[in-house]
Amino acid sequence: MLPERSQEQEIEYLRAELDSISRKAARSEVIAQSLRDTQHRLDLHISKFARMHDYAQRAFSAKDTQTLHTTIAEGIIDIFQLEAAALFEINFADQQLILLNGLNLETEETVFTLDPEEWKSQGFAGYLLSPKPQAYCESPVTAKIWAEMGLSHVIVMPALNNRQKINGLILGGISETNKDFYDFLPQELTSPFMVYCQQMYGIMGLFEAVDQANQAAHAKSRFFANLSHEIRTPMNAIIGMTQIAERSDDPEEINRCIKQINTSSKHLLSLINDVLDISKIEDGKFNLARNAFDLRQLAESIRNSMIQFAQNKSQTFDVDFHYPNNLRLIGDDMRLSQVLLNLLNNAIKFTPENGSVKLDISEFSQDHDSVTLQFAVTDTGIGIAPELRERIFKPFEQADNTISRNYGGTGLGLAISQHIVGLMGGFIRVESTPGKGSRFAFSVRFEKDNSLPQKKNEQQIKKEHADFSGYKILVADDVKINRLIICSLLKDTHITIEEAENGKEALEKIQNSPAGYYLLVLMDMQMPVMDGCTATRMIRASQHPDAKILPIIAMTANVFKEDVQEVLDAGMNGHIGKPVDIQIVLDTIKKSIKKYPAKKIF
């Protein structure tokens, strides 16, 4: 039984109970208010997300990018109760911030210059913003813009395009005078604002992807129209000069026609090679070789190739060397030459008469095993406008539509050159002033070839003259002129050549020949009666002693990746594209002789 409390004790006890109840009531009210505040914020967020969805639908159904940008800016103001909004594009190449669209902005400027030092002082590395969306990622440039308008609580988001490159910012702000009237804290804007921006980035990316696809389609259409013109021009010269030579008895005129035919043929071949190169690039099959080469010999070869072209336009053409003599490197000298010749060809083509073009090759740095070289082509030509500098490196594109009409070209050369330099670990940089000229430069690191080059004397060179006496090859081609060309090109080697007009005839000749009769077979792919691949498969499946070992080389105008794979799958040993490079044919024959030395039986 509990002891009985006195009246004073009872009163004290009741007072303590009352105090406890009061404290609990106060805590309950705090909790209730907190719940009401949380519910209010939740309602605001739900409302924001619902309106985000509406604006995303409106943005997705926009008919053009201007409408898209306006819709995004309207959403920033409406959803987040901001007083102004803007979309900017960052042009890193020209150090500019370009206003795409803005609402409630009191500025007539559309382009703002970026200040590298000011960015660095604010903790930014150059112009590289974080690729992750984040609030309060303000730049000094945009901060000034908003400050002049009396805006604060600016939220800035790096915008990623569909190539995952930062190309824009989405911003919003409220004025200093009105900021206390808003029922949210600025940091509470961060999460929903990020969600909104990410939604819009996705839609902007779709718009950009569609726009790029349309531009690529138009560019390819223009490219094929230009290509048709570019092919017809040398073809017209070849056909015309051939007709003149046929009717002429003047050896001098005939020789002039032959030279023109040779020049036009090389131009035509360069066009075809460009198309093949860009096809390899798109298929991811473009690779570099590793050869030892002498840099000065390469530069002299380039000088000799281009000097007449420049002289024809009364231009000054120089090649300056600023590196050690006898510098031998390891790399793809043919592709390096291709890039330099392309840059020089463009420089001469786009430079008027009496202008100047210069190739400068200088040493940037070196150690025992490697050297970094800078290559620069400078001209006094027509120049390139800033907004067109990125475009010239895109496949099928040129600076503007008048280029092909006025100067010719397919728009592939610079795209291929940039890809080659990229594979070498460099990047082509452009400096240009319209009307004054351009400078294309890139730096590449090469391994040094520290082995001593073997010098060939005249006696060794004479010994290298191809003499294939006693060997016999089979040429299978349905076009008589193609067989005639091979026979004429190999005439001085004294090799014996038999001919077949189709795959069936080639198969029969091989089946009826003794073992070791043919050193190798040069087989066209597309022939009547039986094509080259079918003939090869039947040869390999036959009971002839040489069926498995006879070298069969495709010699064909089918030169795409899938064509090469097709002949290899059929059982051929290699592929030579037409028009035929006689040196490749000679090297192929030499390799066969080394592999089958006992086949010399005639």
Please list, in sequence order, all residues whose beta carbon lies within 8 angstroms of the beta carbon of residue 468, skipping any fewer than 6 positions away.
490, 493, 494, 495, 519, 589, 593
In this structure, the answer to whether residues 124 and 245 fall within a common structural domain is yes
pLDDT at 439 over 60: yes
Range 337-342 average pLDDT: 86
pLDDT of residue 143: 65
In this structure, the answer to whether residues 155 and 239 fall within a common structural domain is yes
pLDDT at 184 over 90: no
406 — pLDDT class (breaks 50, 70, 90): very low
pLDDT of residue 165: 46
Range 359-375 average pLDDT: 86
pLDDT at 473 over 90: yes
Q: Could you tell me if residue 457 is inside a domain?
A: no
> Last residue of some domain: 402, 422, 448?
448
453 — pLDDT class (breaks 50, 70, 90): low
Interatomic CA distance for residues 521 and 555, integer angstroms? 9
Sign of CA dihedral 347, 351, 353, 359: negative
> Last residue of some domain: 420, 448, 476?
448
420 — pLDDT class (breaks 50, 70, 90): confident
217 — pLDDT class (breaks 50, 70, 90): low
Could you tell me the two tokens for 570? 């059929």
DSSP annotation string for 229-271 = HHHHHHHHHHHHHHHHHHH---HHHHHHHHHHHHHHHHHHHHH
- Over pLDDT 90: what percentage of the chain? 15
pLDDT at 251 over 70: yes
pLDDT of residue 162: 45
> Last residue of some domain: 414, 448, 482?
448
Could you tell me the two tokens for 168? 């824009």
pLDDT of residue 305: 76
Q: Which helix (H) or strand (E) holds 272?
A: helix 251-283
Distance separating the N- and C-terminal Cα atoms of the chain: 135
In this structure, the answer to whether residues 169 and 315 fall within a common structural domain is no
In this structure, the answer to whether residues 429 and 481 fall within a common structural domain is no
pTM value?
Answer: 0.47
pLDDT of residue 163: 45
User: Within 13 Å of residue 290, how many CA atoms lie on the same side as its CB?
Assistant: 4
Higher pLDDT, 103 or 429: 429
Residues composing the chain: 602
Interatomic CA distance for residues 267 and 261, integer angstroms? 10
* Residue (of 192, 265, 257, 268) closest to 229 by Cα position: 268
94 — pLDDT class (breaks 50, 70, 90): low
pLDDT of residue 378: 93
In this structure, the answer to whether residues 151 and 178 fall within a common structural domain is yes
Q: Could you tell me if residue 268 is inside a domain?
A: yes
The answer to whether the CB of 73 falls within 8 A of the CB of 85 is: yes
296 — pLDDT class (breaks 50, 70, 90): confident
Q: Could you tell me if residue 6 is inside a domain?
A: no
Interatomic CA distance for residues 382 and 394, integer angstroms? 20
Round the average pLDDT of the chain to a whole number and report it: 76
pLDDT of residue 459: 42
| Residue found under tokens 């050690």 | 324
In this structure, the answer to whether residues 40 and 75 fall within a common structural domain is yes
Return the CATH number at 350.
Answer: 3.30.565.10
Q: Could you tell me if residue 3 is inside a domain?
A: no
Residue 282's identity, in one-letter code, is E
What is the DSSP code (8-state) at residue 367?
-
In this structure, the answer to whether residues 328 and 369 fall within a common structural domain is yes
Instruction: Tell me the per-residue pLDDT of 560-581, one tens digit each, with 9 for 90 and over.
Output: 667 788 899 999 999 888 778 8
pLDDT of residue 237: 76
In this structure, the answer to whether residues 411 and 550 fall within a common structural domain is no
> Which residue spans within 109-236 are E strands per DSSP?
111-113, 151-160, 166-175
pLDDT at 399 over 60: no
Q: Could you tell me if residue 372 is inside a domain?
A: yes
Count of structural domains within the chain: 3
Higher pLDDT, 144 or 58: 58
In this structure, the answer to whether residues 277 and 403 fall within a common structural domain is no
Instruction: Tell me the per-residue pLDDT of 505-515, one tens digit each, with 9 for 90 and over.
Output: 999 999 999 99
Q: Could you tell me if residue 279 is inside a domain?
A: yes
The answer to whether the CB of 200 falls within 8 A of the CB of 59 is: yes
Q: Among the listed ranges 208-222, 235-249, 396-410, 517-531, which one has the minimum average pLDDT value?
A: 396-410
Higher pLDDT, 530 or 600: 530
Return the CATH number at 528.
Answer: 3.40.50.2300
Q: Could you tell me the residue range of the domain that residue 442 belongs to?
A: 291-448
In this structure, the answer to whether residues 308 and 242 fall within a common structural domain is no
Return the CATH number at 200.
Answer: 3.30.450.40
| Residue found under tokens 């380039």 | 302
Please list, in sequence order, all residues whose beta carbon lies within 8 angstroms of the beta carbon of residue 60, skipping any fewer than 6 positions away.
203, 206
Q: Residue 166 pairs with which residues in a beta bridge?
A: 160
Q: Could you tell me if residue 502 is inside a domain?
A: yes
414 — pLDDT class (breaks 50, 70, 90): confident
* Residue (of 355, 359, 316, 356) closest to 341 by Cα position: 359
In this structure, the answer to whether residues 122 and 256 fall within a common structural domain is yes
Q: Could you tell me if residue 7 is inside a domain?
A: no
Higher pLDDT, 445 or 20: 445
The answer to whether the CB of 488 falls within 8 A of the CB of 518 is: no
Range 395-420 average pLDDT: 61
In this structure, the answer to whether residues 239 and 364 fall within a common structural domain is no
Range 340-349 average pLDDT: 88
pLDDT of residue 510: 94
pLDDT of residue 496: 92
521 — pLDDT class (breaks 50, 70, 90): very high
pLDDT at 349 over 80: yes
Range 418-439 average pLDDT: 87
Range 220-233 average pLDDT: 62
Instruction: Tell me the per-residue pLDDT of 29-56, one tens digit each, with 9 for 90 and over.
Output: 777 777 777 777 677 667 777 888 888 8
